[in-house]
Amino acid sequence: MENLVIIGKIISAYGIKGWVKIRPFTETAKNFIQYKTQFLSRNQKDWNRVEIKEIKIQGQDVIADIGLTDRDQSISHKGYFLAIARDQLPQLPEDEFYWDDLIGLKVIDVDREDLGKVVGLIETGANDVLVVSGDRERLIPYIPQVIKKVDTHNQLIEVDWDKEF
């Protein structure tokens, strides 16, 4: 399956009837629960369609019945990823991006020095942080003072960041 966007990960079993606890990667758990048809995979390559029968918000996580029959089955699915078709995502304003859009983009500083590529993002609570891998790993805050330009068309992010950090 191509054009899937991972929106959550199963973090544990919930109860004895096959329910699972999911950590949403969406901005809020409320955003996650609107997608009743999702795709499930352990390795992010082999995806199986799953219909969520019932789902509830529990704090920042969700609990869901994804069709597993008992606790043993739900325990065996810990670590599985959940994804949706990219075309199900709402269109964003021009200056906003999904994390998935930023993965793989080349990062350069304002002097045009190559800092590497975005390999991940971290949510810290205060702000998101780009994980950039190049000559070494760098953690670059995703804030307006640092992120000067995001150009997904040319696969480039320009940052005001000291190469020594």
Express the helix, strand and coil content of the chain in percent, nearest 5 each: 10, 45, 45
**Residue where a domain stops, chosen among 48, 63, 88:** 88
From the list 85, 88, 82, the residue with the least C-alpha distance to 61 is 82
Q: Which residues of the chain have pLDDT under 70?
A: 1-2
**Residue where a domain stops, chosen among 53, 68, 88:** 88
Q: What is the pTM of this model?
A: 0.75
For 123, the domain range is 99-159
Q: Is residue 152 part of a domain?
A: yes
Could you tell me if 8 and 84 lie in one domain? yes
Could you tell me if 9 and 84 lie in one domain? yes
CATH number, domain of 15, equals 2.40.30.60
Could you tell me if 56 and 105 lie in one domain? no
Q: Is residue 72 part of a domain?
A: yes
pLDDT at 70: 96
Q: Is 5:97 a contact under the CB 8 Å cutoff?
A: no
Could you tell me if 24 and 55 lie in one domain? yes
d(CA 133, CA 88): 30
CATH number, domain of 135, equals 2.30.30.240
pLDDT at 67: 96
d(CA 133, CA 139): 9
Could you tell me if 146 and 116 lie in one domain? yes
Could you tell me if 84 and 8 lie in one domain? yes
pLDDT at 2: 67
**Residue where a domain stops, chosen among 39, 56, 88:** 88
Could you tell me if 10 and 75 lie in one domain? yes
Q: Is residue 94 part of a domain?
A: no
Could you tell me if 123 and 143 lie in one domain? yes
pLDDT at 1: 55
Could you tell me if 79 and 111 lie in one domain? no
